[in-house]
Amino acid sequence: MSTTRILLATLAVVAAGDLGAVEYSQFQADKSRLTFVSKQMGVPIDGSFRKFGGSLSFDPARPTAASARLDLDLASIDAGSRDANEEVVGKPWFNLKMFPTATFVSSAVRPLGGDKFELAGKLTIKGRTQDITAPFTFHQEGSNGIFDGGFVLKRLDFALGDGVWADVATVANEVQIKFHIVAAAAATRK
Amino acid sequence: METRYTRTAIALHWLMALLLTGLFCVGLYMSDLPLSPQKLKIYSWHKWAGITAFLLVLLRLAWRVGHPPPLLPAGMPAWQQAAAHGLHHLLYLLMIAIPLSGWLMSSAKGFQTVYFGVLPLPDLLPKDKELGELLEVVHSGLNFTLAGLVVAHVAAALKHHLFDRDDVLSRMLPFHASKH
């Protein structure tokens, strides 16, 4: 009787330990989304990137050990209109011929309490690298881990919109980036 | 019975005549421009002016309810009176429909209207590329219809002034000494 109880308790502890060691590392490209909002003449314009790949590992029990990398196919941009999509591939904007991808590599993740975290890392666009930090929330949905966050990118830091486009009164310098990353849990570690 | 339009009605009439002519010309010019910051500015200005025209026509209609226009000359044939009333109704209808179609088009194309860059107007439709392109055709078609009707409106006013020699044109002129 008491042995059964001890056995059950032990099992529960092991199970709890297992849950804590769940690591989310299977990037789900089809479920993840990368969107942004730019502003033209005070008008918010929704945009998105359709193609991006990445790798990550995140254990909610050990967030500081987490890491992430994102490779973004800039040609997959939808900047909100056909005109804009044709414009942004050119030299003043992304200069896709020379810089077809943007890359983000994390350097640190720190817990902010509850389901909130902060991601820091280096973002490289158009040959220019900048440090960015982005707060995000994490929650589980079935076997998936969901990361929702965002940050404000200053387009001129990456020389996005040179020349006539540099006027931030027409196209604002600040671009709100939002990410919704879905990753499946990998096999648990003991 | 009053034989002239009120000063307010005259002011609104000519203000809108100027505004709508400007909007029409700018609209024609801007639609073929290659994308540039200048184009974005002109589009925004066009949209702000269009919303202003929409507000002005509502104001005009409200004013008209309280201040009915002077009667048409008694000697005018019935069919001409009917045509004049019909044309005026169409002009008002288009002055409402055109800014609305522009607003709807902007919404469908995913470009919200932010009045003077500070007051966001609600999007009337969700983003829908095909619907946006259809509304562009509608907006343009309504504009050319209005332009045609304005030509008829001006021609009719000149006909009254030059051939019928009545006061139909002069009673709408801003600086005309009233001949009571």
pLDDT tens-digit series, residues B6-44: 999 999 999 999 999 999 999 999 998 999 999 999 999
Is B2 among the domain residues?
no
What percent of chain B is modeled with pLDDT above 90? 92
**Is this complex scored with an ipTM above 0.85?**
no
Start-to-end C-alpha separation, chain A: 29
List % helix, strand, coil for chain A (3-state, nearest 5).
Answer: 20, 50, 30
Which tokens is B118 given? Answer: 């500070």
> In which band, very low, low, confident or very high, does the pLDDT at A17 lie, cut at 50, 70 and 90?
very low
The full set of domain ranges for chain A reads 2-185
Closest CA to A49 of A85, A98, A24: A85
Is B62 among the domain residues?
yes
- With tokens 């219809």, the residue in question is B145
Which CATH code fits A2-185?
A: 2.40.128.110
Domain extent for B27 = 7-172
Q: What CATH number corresponds to the domain at position B103?
A: 1.20.950
Burial of A89 (C-beta count, 10 Å sphere; 0-12/13-18/19+): middle
Is B103 among the domain residues?
yes
pLDDT tens-digit series, residues A44-95: 999 999 999 989 999 998 999 999 999 999 999 999 998 899 999 999 999 9
Is B74 among the domain residues?
yes
Which of A41, A45, A86 minimises the CB distance to B110?
A45
Is B110 among the domain residues?
yes
Q: CB pairs below 8 Å between A and B: how many?
A: 41
Is B1 among the domain residues?
no
pLDDT tens-digit series, residues A110-154: 999 999 999 999 999 999 999 999 999 999 999 999 999 999 999
Residue B110 and residue A43: Cα distance in Å, rounded? Answer: 10
- Name beta bridge partners: A128: A125
φ and ψ at B70, to 5 degrees? -60, 155
Are B37 and A171 an interchain contact pair (Cβ–Cβ within 8 Å)?
yes
Contact A167, B37 (CB under 8 A): yes
pLDDT tens-digit series, residues B50-60: 999 999 999 99
**A chain contacts of residue B110, beta-carbon cutoff 8 Å:** 45-46, 80-81
Are A45 and B111 an interchain contact pair (Cβ–Cβ within 8 Å)?
yes
- With tokens 């666009």, the residue in question is A125
Contact A75, A93 (CB under 8 A): no
The number of CA neighbours under 13 Å toward the Cβ of A59 is: 16
Task: Please tell me the predicted confidence (pLDDT) of residue A190.
Answer: 44
Q: Is pTM, for the whole model, over 0.90?
A: no
**Domains identified in chain B, total number:** 1
- With tokens 């044939």, the residue in question is B77
pLDDT tens-digit series, residues B69-87: 999 998 899 999 999 999 9
Task: Please tell me the predicted confidence (pLDDT) of residue B58.
Answer: 97
Are A83 and B35 an interchain contact pair (Cβ–Cβ within 8 Å)?
yes
